[in-house]
């Protein structure tokens, strides 16, 4: 059972912080899966931001 499947079976108030986290998970599932499946992707873009900061 995946985290998303488990989350969908829970009865959590949407307005709670946990409900917000589950909503975020559901809305971004495609992107989160892509990140987890492709080891080349970085979790943040700090390197790109540091490279343009001197400009």
Average pLDDT for 47-53: 84
Q: Which of 23, 16, 31, 17 is nearest to 7 (CA)?
A: 23
b/e map 8-46, b = 16+ CB within 10 Å? eeeeeeeeeeeeeebeeeeeeeeeeeeeeeeeeeeeeee
pLDDT at 55 over 70: no
Tokens of 10: 């829970």
Q: Which residue has the tokens 């390197």?
A: 47
pLDDT tens profile 3-49: 878 878 888 887 899 889 888 988 998 988 888 888 888 888 888 88
Q: Which residue has the higher pLDDT, 55 or 37?
A: 37
pLDDT at 54 over 80: no
Give me the residue spans of the domains in the chain.
Answer: 3-52
Q: What is the pLDDT, as a whole number, of residue 27?
A: 92
């Amino acid at each position: 059972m995946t985290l998303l499947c488990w989350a969908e079976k829970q009865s959590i108030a949407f307005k709670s912080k946990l409900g917000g986290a589950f909503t975020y998970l559901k809305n971004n599932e495609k992107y989160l899966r892509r990140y987890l499946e492709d080891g080349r992707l970085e979790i943040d873009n700090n390197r790109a931001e540091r490279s343009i900061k001197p400009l």
